[in-house]
Amino acid sequence: MSKAEKTRQFIIEKTAVLFNTKGYLSTSLSDISEATGLTKGSIYGNFENKDEVALAVFQYNYGTLRKHMQEVMKEEYPTVSDQLYALVSFYRKHWPLVFKTGGCPLMNAATEADDTFPVLSSQVKNSFESWIAAITEIIRSGQEKNEFSRTIDAKEYASLSVTLIEGGILLSKSTGNERHLHYALDRVLQLITEIQKNPYH
């Protein structure tokens, strides 16, 4: 990496939690300067404006979350169901870190950027679609292996799973009580069992 690239990465990493906790719109250039120890001139020397920093930070935050999820889902499992169980387990184990760093970066950005930051909103939409597509692919893999019912709509179940997880995170973060996320994850486990019914039909 060049010196400029290293500086950009430094700014992104130093402000990742800041943007996710304070907000992509509420975080000011002064906040970025304080978090990084760099002058505003130095920040503008690496990014065109604050919005460009915010977009880069969102990509970094989502990329980090996605990397952790992919590491879990790409491991070798005896069955496809176990692969989905691992995703649920990931959220059970990592919820303290998610909350500590401000919550789910997708949900935070989606709530904040809607109608006010269209470029970020577009990236959030693509990120959600990518996540749903990844789970859909896993479910379809289970259908091909006759582990899951061939009559169910894989994308519908994937979308519902993401909706439950995001809703659980939102409620748990808002109330300060983790039980809401666990309720949602329990329901996802029920969905996995549901699609296993009559797997050869």
pLDDT digits (tens, 9 = 90+) for 111-169: 887 778 889 999 999 999 999 999 999 999 999 999 999 999 999 999 999 999 999 98
For the chain, give me the number of helices (H) and strands (E)? 9, 0
Query: Structure pTM?
Result: 0.87
Domain that residue 155 falls in: 58-195
Residue 137: inside a domain: yes
| Domain assignment of residue 163, yes or no | yes
Q: How far apart are CA 11 and CA 53, in angstroms?
A: 8
Overall domain count for the chain: 1
CA distance 64 to 60: 6
- pLDDT tens-digit map of 167-192: 998 899 889 899 999 999 999 999 99
Give a yes or no: residue 113 inside a domain.
yes
Q: Residue 100 domain-assigned?
A: yes
In a domain, 16, yes or no: no
- How large is the average pLDDT for residues 64-69? 86
Mean model confidence pLDDT for the chain: 90
| Residue with tokens 């970066």, as numbered in its chain | 105
- In a domain, residue 25? The reply is no
**CATH number, domain with residue 100:** 1.10.357.10
Helix (H, G, I), strand (E, B) or coil at 1: coil
User: Is 124 within 8 Å of 110 (Cβ atoms)?
Assistant: yes
